[in-house]
Amino acid sequence: MKIIKYILAITFIGGGLQTVFAQTPTQPSPTPKISETVAKNLEQATNKTPVPRERREQAYAKLLEGQRYIWNIYRSRSQTGLANTVRLAKQSLQKAVELDPTLAEGYTALAELTSPYDIDEAILLAGTAVKIDNNNYGGHFILAQLYTKKSEINRGVLDANFAQKAIAEWNEIARFDPRNAEAYAFLSEFYARTNKPEERVIALRNWVSAATPSGNGFYGRVFKGENLSPENASLKLAEALLKMKQTREAIEILSRLIAAEPENEEAIELLQQAVESADVESATIAVETLQQAINVNPENTSLVILLAQVYVGAGKIDQAAKVLLDTSAKVAAKDKNSAADLQVALGDLFFEKNQFENAAKTYQNAFTVRGIIQSEAVTDDARDFAIRVFDKMIETYKKANRPNDTKAVIERARLVLGKSDLFADKKLISFYLETGKKAEALQTVRALRTRNADDYALLRLEATILTDIGKIEEAVALIKPLIGKKPSVATDSAANGQNGDGIVTLASPMAADFSNYIFISSLYTQAKRNKEAIEAINQAYSSTQSSDRKEIAKLMLATAQQTAGDLQGAETTLREILKQSPQNPIALNNLGYFLAERGEKLEEALNLIEQAVQSNPTNPSYLDSLGWAYFKLGKLVEAEKYLKNALRFDNSSSTIHEHLGDIYQKQGKLDLAKSAWQKALEFASDTDEINRIKAKLTNNASK
Q: Kindly give the residue spans of alpha helices, DSSP state H, lying in 115-154.
A: 119-132, 137-151
Structural domain includes residue 480: no
Which pLDDT value is given to residue 379?
A: 83
Structural domain includes residue 107: yes
Look at the chain and report how many structural domains it folds into: 2
Rounded-to-integer distance, Cα 124 and Cα 107, Å? 9
Half-sphere exposure of 429 (CA within 13 A, CB side): 20
For every residue of 8-29, DSSP letters joined together read HHHHTSSSHHHHHHHTS-----
pLDDT over 70 at 19, yes or no:
no
Q: What are 225-261's pLDDT values in tens digits? A: 789 999 999 999 999 998 888 888 888 898 888 877 8
Mean pLDDT of 536-549: 89
Which pLDDT value is given to residue 566?
A: 87
Q: Which residues contact 318 (CB under 8 A, 6 or more apart)?
A: none
Rg of the chain on CA atoms, in Å: 32
CATH number of residue 605's parent domain: 1.25.40.10
Domain hosting residue 18, numbered range: 1-133
CB of 468 within 8 A of CB of 438? yes
Structural domain includes residue 72: yes
Rounded-to-integer distance, Cα 153 and Cα 58, Å? 42
Which pLDDT value is given to residue 494?
A: 37
The overall average pLDDT reported for the chain is 83
Q: What are 673-687's pLDDT values in tens digits? A: 999 999 888 888 778
CB of 331 within 8 A of CB of 338? yes
Structural domain includes residue 556: no
Mean pLDDT of 283-295: 72
Residues above pLDDT 90, as percent of the chain: 38
Structural domain includes residue 129: yes
CA-to-CA separations, 628 to 151, 359, 424, 603, 615, in angstroms, rounded? 34, 34, 38, 12, 18
DSSP secondary structure letter of residue 362: H
CB of 584 within 8 A of CB of 608? no
Which of 70, 99, 133 finishes a domain?
133
State the Cα torsion 269-271-275-276 to the nearest 10°: 20
Helix (H) or strand (E) holding 629, with range, is helix 620-632
Task: Select the more confidently predicted residue: 98 or 551.
Answer: 551
Q: What are 614-642's pLDDT values in tens digits? A: 888 889 999 999 999 999 999 998 999 89
Which pLDDT value is given to residue 234?
A: 93
Which range, of 55-59, 141-145, 379-383, averages the lowest pLDDT? 55-59
pLDDT tier for residue 532 given thresholds of 50, 70 and 90: very high
Q: What are 366-416's pLDDT values in tens digits? A: 999 998 887 778 888 889 999 999 999 999 999 898 999 999 999 999 999
Rounded-to-integer distance, Cα 220 and Cα 197, Å? 23
Which pLDDT value is given to residue 344?
A: 93
pLDDT over 80 at 120, yes or no:
yes
Mean pLDDT of 473-478: 94
CA-to-CA separations, 504 to 462, 488, 490, 496, 658, in angstroms, rounded? 28, 11, 6, 12, 48
Which of 92, 110, 133 finishes a domain?
133
pLDDT tier for residue 459 given thresholds of 50, 70 and 90: very high
Structural domain includes residue 611: yes
pLDDT tier for residue 312 given thresholds of 50, 70 and 90: confident
CA 481 to chain centre: 37
Residue 512 CB coordination number (10 Å): 18
Structural domain includes residue 2: yes
Q: What are 495-529's pLDDT values in tens digits? A: 333 343 333 333 444 458 898 999 999 999 888 89
Helix (H) or strand (E) holding 450, with range, is helix 438-451
Which pLDDT value is given to residue 425?
A: 92
For every residue of 247-305, DSSP letters joined together read HHHHHHHHHHHHHH-TT-HHHHHHHHHHHHS--HHHHHHHHHHHHHHHHH-TT-HHHHH
Structural domain includes residue 19: yes
